[in-house]
């Protein structure tokens, strides 16, 4: 897609090309960023349990929290890679930018941990009730 502001890119809009770029970015994030990978795996496990026990509010909260934490992780990775590309040497301003990006991840990750832990405790409670009879 052509960037009107920068005058770069290819002319015309092709949704299939856009989808290919999106999937490529997601695949890259999962393959090369362990923090994205493990959050996706943990969330998927908890989500499957929530679906099995038909805990729809838990599914919605988990989808929202996971989406936000994955988005923050991917933005953080992109910002860090761009900073390292622009300035490969130690630089206080670049360090501050990276620290702020990491802090943004920490904020949403705290919320993700609370949601996952809360959902797990709720699901374990339901499982124990069903197991007891």
Q: How far is CA 125 from the centre of its chain?
A: 27
Q: Say if residue 33 carries a ligand binding annotation.
A: no
Q: Say if residue 80 carries a ligand binding annotation.
A: yes
Q: What angle do CA 47, 30, 97 make, to 5 degrees?
A: 110
- The reply to whether 87 belongs to the active site is no
Residue of 10, 37, 73, 92 marked catalytic: 73
Residues 94, 87 contacting (CB under 8 angstroms): yes
Q: Say if residue 98 carries a ligand binding annotation.
A: yes
- Residue 89: DSSP 8-state: S
- Residue 1: DSSP 8-state: -
Q: Say if residue 73 carries a ligand binding annotation.
A: yes
Work out the number of other CB atoms within 10 angstroms of the CB of residue 133: 4
Residue ranges at the known binding site for ATP: 80, 98-99
Residue ranges at the known binding site for a divalent metal cation: 80
Residues marked active site are found at 73
Residue ranges at the known binding site: 73, 80, 98-99
């Amino acid at each position: 897609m052509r960037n009107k502001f920068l005058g770069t890119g290819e002319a015309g809009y092709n949704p299939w090309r856009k989808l290919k770029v999106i999937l490529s970015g997601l695949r890259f994030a999962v393959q090369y960023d362990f923090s994205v990978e493990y959050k996706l795996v943990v969330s998927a496990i908890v989500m499957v349990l929530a679906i099995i026990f038909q805990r729809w509010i838990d599914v919605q909260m988990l989808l929202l929290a996971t989406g936000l934490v994955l988005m923050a992780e991917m933005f953080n990775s992109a910002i860090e890679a761009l900073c390292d590309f622009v300035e490969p040497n130690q630089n206080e301003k670049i360090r501050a930018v990276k620290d702020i990006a990491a802090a943004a991840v920490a904020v949403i990750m705290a919320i993700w941990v609370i949601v996952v832990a809360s959902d797990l405790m709720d699901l374990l409670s339901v499982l124990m009730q069903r197991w007891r009879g």
